[in-house]
Amino acid sequence: MVILYFLSQGVLRFGELQKKLPNVTQAALTKQLRALEEYKLIHREVYKQVPPKVEYSLTEIGVNFLPVLTALEEWATDYQKLEK
């Protein structure tokens, strides 16, 4: 969900995502990106150049999922207030 949040702000390259998620290993990030691509929530664009360039963006399905993320964020905020 965090990856989807970052991609909601714009197209990102793998290295940019990695910087935003410093506690996530390269292998774990790759696995999550592949899963999100398989679920058709994100699009992986590979540019044929040296060095290789790969960009990730939200698909239409991914964009349509954003209200769900917003609702979860609002719920979490409300829940934290109840816990205090």
Domain limits of the chain? Answer: 2-83
pLDDT of residue 63: 97
**Cβ-count burial of 80 within 10 angstroms (0-12 exposed, 13-18 middle, 19+ buried)?**
exposed
Average pLDDT (19-29) is: 96
Distance CA 6, CA 2 (A): 6
What residue has token string 């209200």? Answer: 67
Residue 82 pLDDT class (50, 70, 90 cuts): confident
Per residue in 26-70, pLDDT (tens digit) is 999 999 999 999 999 999 999 999 888 999 999 999 999 999 999
pLDDT of residue 83: 76
Could you tell me the fold of the domain covering 2-83? Answer: Arc Repressor Mutant, subunit A (1.10.10)
* pTM as predicted: 0.85
